[in-house]
Structure 1
Amino acid sequence: MLPAGRPVRIVLADDHTLFRQGIAEILAVAGGFEVVGEAHRGDETCRVTAEARPDVVLLDVEMPGPGVREVLARLVRMTPRPQVVVLTVHDDIALARELLGLGAGAYLVKGSTRQELLSAIRSVTVERRSGHVVLSLSQQSLVSGPRPLEVLSVREREVLALAGQALSNSQIARRLAIAEGTVKRHLRNIYGKLGAVSRMDAVNKALAASLIVPPPTGEDGSSGGRISDV
């Protein structure tokens, strides 16, 4: 957990200068983030990270020098250990599983939105002790992969499945015999893990990844209600 009021310290590692500048601008506008170093090679990434001691490294998959697997292995052995968010053009669920298994905290394709990027950074920073991951791939890759990545806990999938049935937070709480505040906390965690910006977005992404089953439909083909974000 970061000290209260301190910005998230970030190293940008990508061999494209314009891309690094674009990410830096997004972080500056969002607030609460500080770019403390930049690198355009794999070996430089390790050196800059060791010197800057950031909270998060945004790591490109393809840079000159050591490959991403070697760089990632070095980063996760550092003390203090930074969280690593992989940013790549490769919409590849097998590669995502591999890099997440090697210690990356999140895997984002470069077609992700700025909201997904910010959500990923915040999630791996806040949840750095829990081993949670954030995955942002196209629906086609998620559906066509050999099996969906299990990024949600059993309880989170229960909450999201009920949200997909258009139940309110209070209704979900009663159904699962938990506090309404706990439902809200689960939903916040779900949004972070899936890179979702709303309840409907989270439900759609979870359905695409086969993490939850479609809600039952009524005789008129509707799900029985309108999904809200409360």
Structure 2
Amino acid sequence: MRILLADDHELVRDTLAAYLQQSGEIKVSAVGSFDEARTAINNSGPFDLVLLDYTMPGMHELDGLSEAIRLNAGKPVGLISGTASPAVAEQALAAGAAGFVPKSMAAKSLIHAVNLMAAGECYAPFSFLNQKPPEPETPALSTQLSRREREVLLCLTQGLANKEIARQLDIQEVTVKLHVKTLCRKLDARNRTHAAMIAKEGGLV
């Protein structure tokens, strides 16, 4: 079986090639860019399987995949990647990729995947495709507070009354009351004392 492996990371490329050639039944040609892969297919193809790194130079996302499929005379072309998302993998499969192989895959699984794709089967790890996207991070509470709100909050932790806070910050007492009300809402605090406690425990001041 003749395989073309295209990956711009030399260590990854050499490691994957070594894994594949251990079986003694796979001959691997390795290149470091899509331009080199195009030349290899034109000069030595078609290959029984072409494996392309999704993010290597010249790929232009899935454009490189489509071109390689056309150049490899109907023989399978798959993607490998260490960073692409399940959504990208699904798009690649829909675009005609023979499979999608995460670089984190164990050596035995990699050889199994290669054999399947070379035999005309479609390969993609079910566990990878069904990964849930990461939950968006909640902004740090401190970033939700304005500079003035943090100043008022500091005064609350010092046990100052509204009139004292107004005098210290040189603002109107009614403004202090509004800030305290806003702080209680943002901190989900029951009252000013609870807000001060949350601030201390959360390291906000």
Q: Deviations over 1:186-217 (max 9, x none)?
A: xxxxxxxxxxxxxxxxxxxxxxxxxxxxxxxx
Q: Aligned to 1:87, what secondary structure does the other structure show? A: strand
How far apart are the structure 1 equivalents of 2:126 and 2:54? 15
**CA positional deviation for 1:91:** 5.2
How far apart are the structure 1 equivalents of 2:96 and 2:22? 29
1:89 equivalent in alignment to 2:102 = no
Bigger shift: residues 98-107 or 58-67:
58-67
1:136 equivalent in alignment to 2:125 = yes
Equivalent pair of 2:58/2:64 in contact (CA under 8 Å)? no
The gaps in structure 2 that reach 5 residues or longer are: 134-205
How far apart are the structure 1 equivalents of 2:104 and 2:72? 31
Q: Which structure has the larger Rg over C-alpha atoms?
A: 2
Equivalent residue for 2:156? Answer: none
CA RMSD of aligned residues (A): 1.9
TM-score, normalisation: structure 1: 0.53
Equivalent pair of 1:85/1:120 in contact (CA under 8 Å)? no
Instruction: After TM superposition, list the pairs within 5 Å mapping 1:65-214 onto structure 2.
Output: 65-90=58-83, 92-126=85-119, 128=120, 132-136=121-125, 138=127, 142-144=130-132
The gaps in structure 1 that reach 5 residues or longer are: 1-7, 146-230
Q: Aligned to 2:5, what secondary structure does the other structure show? A: strand
Q: How many residues align?
A: 132
TM-score, normalisation: structure 2: 0.59
Letter paired with 2:118: T
**CA positional deviation for 1:104:** 0.8
Equivalent residue for 2:17? Answer: 24
**CA positional deviation for 1:138:** 4.5
Equivalent pair of 1:84/1:105 in contact (CA under 8 Å)? yes
How far apart are the structure 2 equivalents of 1:91 and 1:38? 21
More helix by share: 2
Q: Which runs of 4+ in 1 moved over 3 A?
A: none
